[in-house]
Chain A
Amino acid sequence: MSGTRPRIFVTGLGAVTGFGAGVAALARGLRRGAPAISPVTTFDPGAHRTQLAGMAPLPPQREGDPAARLGRGERFAVQAAEEAIVHAGLGAAELTAAGVFFGSSNGGLLEGEAFFRRLRRRERRLGLRQVASHQNNGPGDAVARRFQCTGPVLTCSSACTSANMALAAALDALRAGECEVALAGGADALSEVTYAGFNALRAVDPGPSRPFRVDRAGLSMGEGAGVLLLETEAHARARGAVVLAELAGAGATCDAHHMSAPKDDALGPLHAMQRALDDAGESPSSVAFVNAHGTGTPHNDVVEARALRELFGERVADVPVTSTKSLVGHLLGACGGLEAVVCVLGLLYREVHPTGGDDPADPELGLDVVIGGVRRLAGARVALSNNLAFGGNNVTVVFRRAPHD
């Protein structure tokens, strides 16, 4: 329950996705509902089982820009964070004590692969600076360094739940008064070895992914970043910030079952959603829509659907469910950050974007999957965002519409 804890507001959004740089491009793409899944460009995908992914554009390099020395994932992170800061109208002085809570699963693996190739070829110029960004803390650290933040900095690397974990950690730190402002989200760049790994698991659809469909055949991989600027209510009110939404709660569990397969009983994701709603002081009946993990892998969608049916009971047929991953690909450790941005947009505009593809949902899943166009939701107040990951991790975050109306 929220009790007397400070409320935590979202006052800025930033994103880099296959739809382009920025939240405006994301919002346009989501409304259009056409997947931004295209041929992989950062490596030759010809030898792989599949060749598509949600490729995000690198921000343009300016001469003398320190960002030019960063890795691809770090650049996504810095660009999305900068957009969130500008959106929130925060000045540099207000960021000094800010915290940075980031999720990343790949970090600078793309640059690490290039380094390893050069090392094996015995090249003289190895690019040690690049390998220094190989670690998963690279994107979050780059954000803290770029904006001169001296508050707590934490990178969560819990595979596909990394960014939702980071949001949960930021929520804890802000509620505890450890910082008043935090940048929270995730960033990941597609790497070839990760692309090969998911293909080795037969988890990638050769075409754009079709979550919750009868013939779903796997996920589409993606890359990019999604960042929220979070503030305590007191801080936001004191500076007259425009509140976009409230990060109201978080809940996490682990299946403790298998490294790469979710447990059939779906209790892990169910309990994560229940904990998140309890933390937010909300009940399933208040949920207006769900941004599902929705990868499109046959088994994952079955388990997530089962958890949603258990959570909502008979009401499940009236709760719109969507999958952002079907439009921009699976951003791995960053997906929770991006899907948080999407949830806030959904609450702001009271609409849910369609899941990619036109064919109907798998009736056996029993979900109201949003397909074919934007769904308007008058009165939408609460949104759930689910992420499930390797190792059986399940993390849900809850957003509440801004309290001004």
Chain B
Amino acid sequence: MTTVVITGLGTIGGFGAGSEALAAALARGVAEVSELRDPAGYRDAGAVNAAALCRRNGEDLDLSPWLDPGRARRMSAPSRFAVAAARMALRDAGLPVERGPATRAVAMATTFGAGVFTERLLCEFLDSGPRTASPFLFTDCVASAPAGQIAIDLQATGPNVTVVQREAGPLLALIEGAREVASGRSDVVLAGHVDEIGTLVHAVLGKLGALCAPDEDGMIRPRPFGRTRRGFLAGEGSTVVVLERVADARARGARVLAKIIAHARAFDPTAPRADWGRGGAVLASMLRARLARLGLTPGDLDAVVSGASGSVRGDSLEAEVLRGLFGANMPPVFAPKAVTGEYGGGNLAAALVLLGGASCAQVTAPDMLDPALGIALHDGGLPARARRVLVSSLASGGAAAWVVLEKP
């Protein structure tokens, strides 16, 4: 089996732009949130009105170091985020933006696509009739638009796939990208996730009871695995990684951020359409079997970057899977979605940043943890000898994906 490595990381989110901004946010252990205005009145009275948005002091994040503002104006927010993150990832990998002889492919995921453009299109359509629908809005509304814009921007003429599988999207896109590189069909794959949190999407999440309410001080602390958890913090942004075969990376002297040494996918058919199920035992056995097939045991895994987000049922399922996999020998567990928010791929970026030596502050205090879940969160960086990290993502609706990353 050809080993695939990650050689570049681009990430944008409520924490800012770049891995240093993410590392700083993880060290603080608290998310940066911005108010989301609701002029159309979609939200229920008293509902959560803030999310981890790509904004600073009321202004959109400055993406001009990666993306020409003129070009950015002709894109939806997800396309802007994704193209900027892809360019950042290429730069981080030491690869030129201009296409060389290497075949470049794109594997992106999204949960909501271009929600704001879709809402605008629907409003135009409902207010003024279907003949007023904007071709520009329509073409950038499709889920695959960010991946298409990356391809156009970076002349990525290899396969271009967009995965839609909610919270499991980032890892599923990573797995599709790793397969593409390992097969030899493409030399470089830009893989990742992008999401935009617009008012409509946020309001619907609120109506579904999925969102964490602010504390009395106005901060939103989702408290993954906490006994008082009530939902997650919605987050937007994009994370894109550069995937290459290890031999190619070595040949060009590239710095390797992580090796992808295993991955697994499964589905929990007990899950309702908009929530998590109770099939943790089955998921754990599927994961264990897959690891065994790849010559790994749970004891080979030194830490877990969990997808726990503060969701009531999602965190319960995650805990059940981890207990089923590790039993009493639970390695250190991190839950960075408390900082990055749910969506946008921040969890994958956090795993790479932690592998690179960053620390994550305690996001749920020990006395706030749910004793029924049996999970304690780690405070600090990866243990000194830790090399292999299990990254976990269980999606509402039933999909599940895991990746094992190894420190080079």
Q: How far is the CA of A176 from the CA of B262 in the complex (A)?
A: 13
- A-side contacts of B255, CB under 8 Å: none
B160 touches A254 (CB 8 A): yes
- B-side contacts of A107, CB under 8 Å: 164
A386 to chain B, nearest CB (A): 15
Max chain A Cβ within 10 angstroms of own Cβ: one of B134, B266, B273:
B273
Q: Which B residue sits closest to A100, measured CB to CB? A: B267
A149 touches B267 (CB 8 A): yes
Partner of B157, one of A48, A256, A389: A256
A 8-26 binary contact with B (CB < 8 Å = 1; else 0): 0000000000000000000
Max chain B Cβ within 10 angstroms of own Cβ: one of A107, A196, A268:
A196
Q: Which B residue sits closest to A46, measured CB to CB? A: B130
B398 touches A155 (CB 8 A): no
Secondary structure type dominating chain A contacts: mixed
Q: How far is the CA of A209 from the CA of B138 in the complex (A)?
A: 21
- Which segment of A81-89, A135-143, A218-226, A236-244 sits at the interface? A135-143
- How many B residues, CB 8 Å from partner? 73
A 177-202 binary contact with B (CB < 8 Å = 1; else 0): 11000000000000011011111110
A154 touches B165 (CB 8 A): yes
- B-side contacts of A150, CB under 8 Å: 266-269, 279, 282-283, 286
A259 touches B149 (CB 8 A): yes
A317 to chain B, nearest CB (A): 29
A159 close to B (CB within 8 Å)? yes
Contact A392 to B398, CB < 8 A, known contacts A154-B165, A155-B163, A253-B159: no
Max chain A Cβ within 10 angstroms of own Cβ: one of B118, B148, B172, B279:
B148
- B-side contacts of A193, CB under 8 Å: 118, 121-122, 125, 133
Q: Would you list the 10 A-B pairs with minimal beta carbon distance, nearest first?
A: A391-B148, A197-B138, A132-B274, A152-B265, A252-B159, A196-B130, A254-B160, A157-B143, A196-B133, A136-B164
29 contacts between A and B (CB under 8 A): A47-B129, A48-B131, A49-B130, A116-B122, A117-B126, A119-B203, A120-B126, A132-B208, A132-B274, A135-B164, A137-B399, A158-B161, A159-B142, A165-B159, A177-B293, A178-B290, A195-B130, A196-B138, A252-B160, A256-B152, A259-B148, A271-B157, A389-B144, A390-B139, A390-B142, A391-B144, A391-B149, A392-B148, A395-B159
Residues in chain A within 8 A of chain B (CB atoms): 47-49, 99-100, 104-105, 107, 113, 116-117, 119-120, 122, 126, 128-129, 131-133, 135-138, 141-142, 144-145, 147-159, 165, 168-169, 172, 176-178, 192-193, 195-201, 252-260, 268, 271, 275, 389-393, 395
